[in-house]
Amino acid sequence: MKYPKIPLAQTVIELCKSHQIKHIVISPGSRNAPLTIGFTNNDYFKCYSIVDERCAAFFALGIAQQLKHPVALLCTSGSALLNYYPAIAEAFYSDIPLIVLSADRPKHLIGIGDGQTINQQDVFANHILESVNLKLDLKDEHRLPDDEDLPIFKSIEDKLERFLGLQQDIQTSNEIEINSAIQRAVLKSGPVHINVPFDEPLYEMVDNLSIKLKPVKLETKAHKIDDFEIKQCLEDWNEASKKMILVGVNHPNSIEQKWLDELAADDSVLVFTETTSNLNHNEFFPSIDKIIAPLDDNEFKQLQPEILLTFGGLIVSKKIKAFLRKYQPKQHWHIGEKEANDTFFCLEKQITIDPNTFFSKFLPKITHYVKSDYRRVWDEVKKYRAQRHNDYLKELEYSDLKVFDVVLKSLPDNSNLQLSNSSTVRYAQLFDLNKTLQVYCNRGTSGIDGSTSTAIGCATINEQPTVLLSGDLSFFYDSNALWNNYIPNSFRIIVINNQGGGIFRILPGHKDTENFDAFFETKHNLSAKQLCKMYHFEYTSVADEKQLKLKLKGFYSESERPKLLEIFTPRTLNDSILLDYFKYLK
């Protein structure tokens, strides 16, 4: 096996291996050559070459999202590192573990005008769990004595021993720093940055390791909840007749079904789930906006909970956030190992434990269900809204809303559904999805910038087929994601092209003016057809409901290439149709 000659490079690579970090996403460069040589010459690692660093980082995020284990990113020095930032911020707020390995120049070559050089230390300061700046190895020639040094040392051996000691101190320091950062990424589930300085020569290789690592032990510390805290929760819970549970982004199958059944059996509990929560039960309340958008002040007061219990990641629905900020619960509890957000400005209690463990300690101790008609009342509302929803869609003309209805019903069982941000995820929230789907969306920062890259990372690592449902701006913004040699033939992209940022037509603004069209809606006439030709995707387009239903029949079938379906919808109708939909629900 071939290894980079530089001890620091060997150390980084071997410690990644000892922490079982198998997936390495590499962007080309020269300064990172020692690490590239080491990773790609070791069969333990699965290496990917992605040229565009922004796409590479979101691709890695998609892999880590599925594995729930760190994926390493490797880039050269300079602006290459800055292109990771959008994905780093997303990973930080979405609790996805990434190890950023950035090659750097030695300190004495920074700030002197060399190319591809920036101040890389702590560059992600506000959006990283830990940043470490490793120490440069002593070079071989530094260990040899010069004649002028001889009077200081008793012998050549004395000087050599001194320099070997310094190198050992450097080695120990670097091992501590690397282990600390990787362990933080694993235990806290988020991104860390390891900045690695290399001096030339960069491309030399050796047949054997020159380092010997100390054993690595991952130190875990489980969060616990004491009986007193459970007792307090139970006392408040048993007295409240109106309890609401609101679930944000949540990994599939992370909550045991028996606890969901327990919650569903309690008439005093409403469980509101979002599309990204991956929780399903007939007694729960999905499609939050469909339920609450038409409510008046008196109805909101009826819905106002005494206790709000939240878990999972960030919430998509702006309407539920506005409701709970105005009609605040008496108590808001958040369950989760990460520090809670005070989203509704009334957070009273954070229980720092994973939700599954909390429910296992809490629910079995509930000895009786309080009498309440809370859920029964809102069950009737849910049924009424569902009927109105179906009635509206039956008569609906071809539009974005109609397209989402048709497409979401067409998705194959057990698919991974990746949603882009902006209007796509919000439209999806209005529908009761196939319960076998696993749904993902980059809701940490809610940006449109990396949805396609993330979906491809997911598709690469997950054996189940992946479908990306995307708006046009999000897709074109991240079109470099298709410059990727690892896309499986089962991957499918559905682009809903309404020739602009349709969500801005729904928001307040002066529509159909030159300024609005150019700077808010960003009207365009682009098509994905030529991109598909360049990147060897099968391409199909439709522009009406009949064509759409016909093309969807064979769209998910096996193929020799990945496929993209572009659905053109009328640009100026979608906003009025959606606004009329909410009026009709009432």
What is the mean predicted confidence (pLDDT) over 141-164?
Answer: 50
Residue range 171-182, pLDDT digits in tens: 999 999 999 999
Instruction: For residues 100 and 80, give the distance between their C-alpha atoms in angstroms, rounded to a whole number.
Output: 12
pLDDT class of 139 with cuts at 50, 70, 90:
confident
- The full length of the chain comes to 586
Instruction: For residues 76 and 202, give the distance between their C-alpha atoms in angstroms, rounded to a whole number.
Output: 12
Query: Residue 524 has what pLDDT?
Result: 80
Instruction: Decide which of 3.40.228.10, 3.40.50.970, 3.55.40.20, 3.40.50.720 is the CATH code for 3-199.
Output: 3.40.50.970
Query: Residue 219 has what pLDDT?
Result: 74
Query: Residue 148 has what pLDDT?
Result: 47
Query: Residue 142 has what pLDDT?
Result: 46
Q: Per-residue pLDDT for 37 more than 50?
A: yes
pTM of the predicted model as reported, rounded to 2 decimal places: 0.93
Instruction: For residues 9 and 410, give the distance between their C-alpha atoms in angstroms, rounded to a whole number.
Output: 49
What is the mean predicted confidence (pLDDT) over 478-494?
Answer: 97
The answer to whether the 227-373 and 396-585 domains have the same CATH topology is yes
Q: Per-residue pLDDT for 364 more than 60?
A: yes
Query: Residue 117 has what pLDDT?
Result: 86
Cross-strand bridge partners of residue 378: none
Contact 250, 313 (CB under 8 A): yes
Query: Residue 150 has what pLDDT?
Result: 43
Listed residue (474, 472, 440, 443) closest to 458, CA to CA: 440
Contact 450, 25 (CB under 8 A): no
Instruction: For residues 418 and 349, give the distance between their C-alpha atoms in angstroms, rounded to a whole number.
Output: 33
Residue range 10-23, pLDDT digits in tens: 999 999 999 999 99
Instruction: For residues 31 and 203, give the distance between their C-alpha atoms in angstroms, rounded to a whole number.
Output: 9
Question: Looking at domain 396-585, which CATH architecture does it have?
Answer: 3-Layer(aba) Sandwich (3.40)
Superfamily per CATH, domain 227-373: TPP-binding domain (3.40.50.1220)
**Burial call 191-212: b when 16+ CB within 10 Å, e when fewer:** bbbbbbbbeeebeeeeeebebe
Query: Residue 217 has what pLDDT?
Result: 77
Contact 137, 8 (CB under 8 A): yes
Query: Residue 140 has what pLDDT?
Result: 52
186, two tokens: 């694993």
Q: Going edge to edge, which strands form the sheet with 243-247?
A: 269-273, 243-247, 307-311, 331-335, 347-351
Residue range 544-582, pLDDT digits in tens: 999 999 999 999 999 999 999 999 999 878 889 999 999
List phi, psi (to 5°) of 347.
Answer: -65, 120
Instruction: Indicate the average pLDDT of the chain.
Output: 92
Q: Give the amino acid at 459.
A: A
pLDDT class of 321 with cuts at 50, 70, 90:
very high
What's the number of CA atoms in the CB half-sphere (13 Å) around residue 173? 13
What is the mean predicted confidence (pLDDT) over 318-343?
Answer: 95
Q: Per-residue pLDDT for 501 more than 70?
A: no
Helices (H), 226-306: 227-239, 257-264, 288-292, 297-303
Contact 15, 175 (CB under 8 A): yes
Residue range 74-128, pLDDT digits in tens: 999 999 999 999 999 999 999 999 999 999 999 888 888 888 888 999 999 999 9
- With a CB cutoff of 8 Å and minimum separation 6, the contacts of 358 are 225, 335, 351
Contact 264, 270 (CB under 8 A): no
Residue range 383-393, pLDDT digits in tens: 999 999 999 99
pLDDT class of 147 with cuts at 50, 70, 90:
very low
Q: Residue ranges of the domains in the chain? A: 3-199, 227-373, 396-585
Cross-strand bridge partners of residue 133: 195
Query: Residue 583 has what pLDDT?
Result: 94
Query: 563-568 and 538-542: which strand pairing?
Result: parallel
Instruction: For residues 367 and 234, give the distance between their C-alpha atoms in angstroms, rounded to a whole number.
Output: 10
Residue range 258-289, pLDDT digits in tens: 999 999 999 999 999 999 999 999 999 999 99
What's the number of CA atoms in the CB half-sphere (13 Å) around residue 63? 24
Least confident piece of the model among 69-73, 153-157, 368-372, 424-428: 153-157
Instruction: For residues 13 and 42, give the distance between their C-alpha atoms in angstroms, rounded to a whole number.
Output: 9
